[in-house]
A and B are shown apart, each in its own frame.
Chain A
Amino acid sequence: MIIAERKPLEEIKNMLAGYKKILVVGCGTCTTICWAGGEKEVGVLSSQLKLASSGEGNELSIVEATVERQCEKEMVIEELRDKVEEVEAILSMGCGVGAQTIAEIFEEKPVFPAVNTTFMGMPEKEGAWVEMCGACGDCFLDRMGGICPVVRCAKGLLNGPCGGTRKGGKCEIDPEKECAWVLIYQRLEKQDRLDLMRKYYEPKNYGAVQRPGRVEAATA
């Protein structure tokens, strides 16, 4: 799923400078699961904004809402249609996709992102998420023992590891991070498929997905 992190309050406050009545919208899917922008986080942020603004003598008026999935136009319209009238601006706590969907539907209202969308990943443990997929459009996990070097190797090497691996198989960039290629080696060794790592992999086709991407189903 998409992982995001809430922006620092100062940055959000700066975006909202001059606005008196806003809508803070959460998303019930990805940003709920990664504790960045669900209904709860909407409540917390709204409280903070009210406390901050009343402290400055100019309390912000806030309408709160949460759309089940901000990236679905129908859900956004249904949930927000009535609430949008009364506000001057919308603060989205959904990922970049959700924020842009809202912006597209309610074009006259400025839409601000309250979170930084960071990566596609999964929970490593409760409350911690790690990047797993980079949406390269040309998946070759079958040959990599199920570990993606495009995002999990800091340099995105297809013929790794690099010479900078730290002792104990840690990444050159961060001694806390595992070298993805050491992980791939260990995984393939377990499966007795090290021949896959010994193969030479040609340079990646970065044109596999023409950006900005568009996919249309055959049965659309």
Chain B
Amino acid sequence: MNPKTMGQYKDREGLRQQQHRGCKMAIHFREALKTKDFIVTAEAGPVKGANTEKMQEHIELLKDRVDALNVTDNQSSVMRYPSLGTCLLVKEHGGEPIFQVTCRDRNRLAIQADLLFAYSRGINNVLCLTGDSIDVGDHREAKPVFDLDSVQLIHLVHTLNSGKDMAGNELDGGVDFCIGASATPSADPLEPQLVKFQKKLDAGVDFIQTQAIYDLEELKRFMEHARKMDGRVKILAGIVLLVGAKMAAFMNEKVPGIFVPQHLIDELAQAPKGKGLSKGIEIAGRLIRQIREEKICDGVHIMAIGREERVPEILEAAGLEGRET
């Protein structure tokens, strides 16, 4: 706990009780990282529009089943309801949000301002990302910002945590974020990514969520490198739900950082018609189960993009249904 921020909430627990009256409360993600054997996070993807109904349904469905819920930030450079807004909804429903911040759409002023706002509303976890390029999204004529990169963003959050802004000014009301970052275990070539990964670890992160992983041998190799670099940081393997062979092949081609091996595309292709999604859930469950049984890493981050309502089935297939959050 940052001594600077303790004075802000005389009774922190009391404030949270007030905010979430009547709802089951999630423990802070930071505590979950320390105490849980196997950490599970998932994503609530914002919609394209001002109608928050569906997002609230997903939040209700998932908030008690996972240790924290990421909210994406104009994912794949497609304009959507902002991460900050959905994080507030997660809080309102008694869940534990992870605020995803990318460097694509905002400069250092806007990012710092958003972080101050987030913290003031009880959002304590931030995932620091560079962001997909504008070209993969739906507003291709927009000007990309990239004033910062992900490593600089991690440093920025530490600066805010220390009670100052990037320009060295004292903050009136500090923050204390739990900081996360991403990694790409299946990158080819891997060495440049490891250099970058080391910089993120050196900057100081509490947790890592990797890009989608499908090859557990690859994950194991990555974890060997990671453990040599930093034995303590919690690493969650990214699991993206595949819904069919076509989607898997499409993601391979079009989605940055995701590589689906041919044998899985084949397995999906062989599923009977209409059963592609079930097969995808089975595959996801299988991967998670194996990661947990072999203790390959510290947990998983489940991304069921556009299919948030199927996450409970994935958890069930993984043998995680009924775990306490």
Q: Which A residues have a C-beta under 8 Å from some C-beta of B? A: 154-169, 172-173, 179, 181-182, 184-185, 194, 197-198, 200-204, 206
Chain A contact residues, majority secondary structure: loop
The residue on B at minimum CB distance from A161 is B192
- Is A181 in contact with B192, judged by CB distance below 8 angstroms? yes
Minimum C-beta distance from A211 to chain B (A): 14
| Cα(A158)–Cα(B130), bound, Å | 11
Q: Which of B250-292 contact A (CB under 8 A)?
A: 256-257, 259
In the complex, are the beta carbons of B146 and A156 less than 8 A apart? Answer: yes
Known: A164-B133, A165-B193, A182-B192. A203 touches B148 (CB 8 A): yes
B152-184: which have CB < 8 Å to A? 152, 155-156, 166, 182-184
CB of B227 within 8 A of chain A? no
The 5 A-B residue pairs whose C-beta atoms are closest, nearest first, are A164-B256, A159-B151, A163-B184, A185-B192, A172-B256
Closest beta carbon of chain A to B268's beta carbon, Å: 20
Q: Is the CB of A163 within 8 A of B149?
A: no
Given A160-B149, A182-B192, A185-B192, verify A173-B211 contact (CB < 8 Å).
no
Residue of A nearest to B153 (CB): A203
Most buried by A among B131, B132, B155, B195: B195
Nearest Cβ distance between residue B173 and chain A, in whole angstroms? 23
Is B198 positioned at the interface, with any CB of A under 8 Å from its CB? yes
| Cross-chain contact A158 with B259 (CB below 8 angstroms) | no
Q: Quick one: which of B108, B135, B189, B199 contacts A182, CB cutoff 8 A?
A: B189
Q: Counting chain B CB atoms within 10 Å of each CB, which of A159, A166, A168 scores highest?
A: A159
Q: Is the CB of B133 within 8 A of A154?
A: yes
Beta-carbon nearest neighbor of A199 in chain B? B199
Is B312 part of the contact surface with A, judged by Cβ < 8 Å? no
- Of residues A164, A179, A182, A194, which shows the largest number of chain B Cβ atoms within 10 Å of its Cβ? A164
Give the docked Cα–Cα distance between A11 and B104 (Å): 32
Please indicate the chain A residues that have their CB under 8 angstroms from the CB of B211 in the complex: 163
Q: Kindly name the residue among B150, B151, B202, B203 whose own CB sees the greatest number of chain A CB atoms within 10 A.
A: B151
* Size of interface on B: residues with Cβ below 8 Å to A: 39
Which residues does chain A contribute within 8 Å of B187, judged by CB atoms? 161, 163, 165
Report the separation of the CA atoms of residues A203 and B152 in the bound assembly, to the nearest whole angstrom.
6
* Residues on A with beta carbons closer than 8 Å to the beta carbon of B103: 155
Other CB < 8 Å A-B pairs besides A155-B103, A203-B148, 18 of them? A155-B104, A155-B131, A155-B144, A155-B146, A157-B130, A161-B196, A164-B133, A164-B256, A165-B193, A172-B256, A181-B196, A182-B192, A184-B192, A185-B189, A198-B195, A200-B199, A200-B203, A202-B152
Q: A182 vs B136: C-alpha distance in the bound complex, in angstroms? A: 21
List the A residue with the shortest CB-CB distance to B132.
Answer: A164
| Shortest CB distance A96–B (Å) | 18
- A156 to B, closest residue via Cβ: B146
- Which listed residue (A160, A169, A185, A206) contacts B188, Cβ 8 A? A169
**Residues in B whose Cβ lies below 8 Å from that of A197:** 192, 195
The answer to whether B202 touches A163, judged by C-beta atoms less than 8 angstroms apart, is: no
Is the Cβ of B130 less than 8 Å from the Cβ of A163?
A: yes
Please give the distance in Å from A147's CB to the nearest CB on chain B.
Answer: 12
Report B-chain residues with C-beta under 8 Å of the C-beta of A203: 108, 147-148, 152, 156, 166
CA gap between A200 and B203 in the complex, in Å: 9
One of A159, A163, A169, A185 near B152 (C-beta < 8 A): A159
Quick one: which of A163, A166, A179, A206 has the most chain B CB within 10 A? A163
User: Closest Cβ of chain B: how far from A202's Cβ, in Å?
Assistant: 7
| B191 contacts chain A at the CB level, 8 A cutoff | yes
